[in-house]
Chain A
């Protein structure tokens, strides 16, 4: 009798879907594309619309959470990302870049309850008033993410730490959706970060012209003509626009406060005193 060997185990292949509203749906269009041998969802304009809806729905609650709480949640993201380090390395992200991304989440987590002190404050005015300025989140931010993993984290973290919610169009699907899995397991409320994988040239115009999107981050747009078109489309509803830089950005350096402050609105309150 021949020796019976254990049957060969079937590998479990992964389909990379979208990350919208805390869930991982397939594209509404049913489309997929093959990226490096993986089946990846190809988002449509209706997925973008749904993502904006999810981002809008949760935005007041996320902005209303205490800054301390948001900082804790971002720190938790760093913890979970640290735990999945090997998975990102297996996807081809350099180990040093994953480490830098973990550090970036921690760095922004620390800023959560400090940005208001640095960016806001009491203003001296020539009258009997307390005059206070406080930064507030802009709202729903559509982001065209850069290709690098550190770049992806470096555009999401500064937007959400202050209470914005984001819809990210990512061109590196596996890493972006795996980051979505990290976010889904780290107490980030569903809808705060939504990740669409697909063609920016197809989806971004719908986000740029969407009246319910408050800001547009074009950091990852390589094509200057597309960037100009998107900026024009965004003007229809007076969105804040972060233009792409002409030279490729180095995300390894100190990001500074600009990525956070670019997505903040300053509210100034005049309060009578001296009565």
Chain B
């Protein structure tokens, strides 16, 4: 099947025609894959890959230009003591902070992501969301993290969600579009699968689990369902879409579980910062501590890394 033959005309029957998710099966598989032991050189590779996949995020009401500048500097050189430590994938901030981070990151290869479309609730009129998106892109963001209208999705107004994503995609122009499904509010794995397909059909470049602002954020089973969706979507349309779990991933151990999940679900093609990201802030320090442990041979401590 080609992209044009996908039944986008009748979204409801297309999305409800997707096979249901076996809840017990997907949770068992995710927890089974989480038991893999990754050690020594493989662990060192995994840590460096995970660092390169981090979207270093600060999305607080208390964000100041100073904090965003410091975070951007950290994105470029996560471990100032070790030049062999790779930079992170991107910095993720609110639209008002894009202009602050842009000059620090310019020309470095580290992307600048901005949340938009009335993050985190998504409860705003469409023209406000589009203006939000355009402003962020104009200020220098080359990745846009949008939220879907969960209210519209949950009440079955799929066309509205679809049109919103296409409109934001158009407003974002050349910027990469990450679509936040807020899986913690979707309720079921079936809904996660439907929302993933909906976002991909509407043109998302990435599908992202969560805003990090609701109690249930990224989990392994949800990410597994999303990885299956991007794998199946590429098989059917030939277009590859990235995945970004966000929120609640704090330790190196967690991050490595996700890497195992990618490799075993979507395949090694997704083991690349272009196709998989971690939305996180405290994860980076734990990755750096584990990296230091491997390079120096002794345990490191949080006192030796910046607070952010």
Contact = CB atoms under 8 A, between A and B. Distances in A.
Interface string A213-239: 100000000000000000001001100
25 contacts: A49-B299, A52-B299, A56-B301, A56-B302, A206-B299, A209-B297, A209-B298, A209-B299, A210-B298, A210-B299, A210-B301, A211-B298, A211-B299, A211-B301, A211-B303, A211-B304, A212-B299, A212-B300, A212-B301, A212-B302, A212-B303, A213-B301, A233-B298, A236-B298, A237-B301
Contacts of A209: 297-299
Interface in B279-304: 297-304
Contacts of B299: 49, 52, 206, 209-212
Contacts of B301: 56, 210-213, 237
Contacts of A233: 298
Nearest to B298: A209
Nearest to A209: B298
Contacts of B302: 56, 212
Nearest to A212: B301
A211 B305 CA distance: 11
Interface string B73-98: 00000000000000000000000000
Q: Chain B: interface secondary structure?
A: loop
B307 to A, nearest CB: 14
B80 to A, nearest CB: 16
Interface of A: 49, 52, 56, 206, 209-213, 233, 236-237
Ranked nearest first, the 4 interchain pairs of A and B with the lowest CB-CB distance are A212-B301, A209-B298, A211-B301, A210-B299
Contacts of A210: 298-299, 301
A206 B298 contact: yes
Nearest to B297: A209
B279 to A, nearest CB: 25
A209 B301 CA distance: 11
B154 to A, nearest CB: 39
Nearest to A236: B298
A206 B300 CA distance: 11
A213 B303 CA distance: 10
A29 B116 CA distance: 47
Q: Which residue, of B298, B299, B304, has the highest number of chain A Cβ atoms within 10 A?
A: B299
Contacts of A206: 298-299
B109 to A, nearest CB: 30
A206 to B, nearest CB: 7
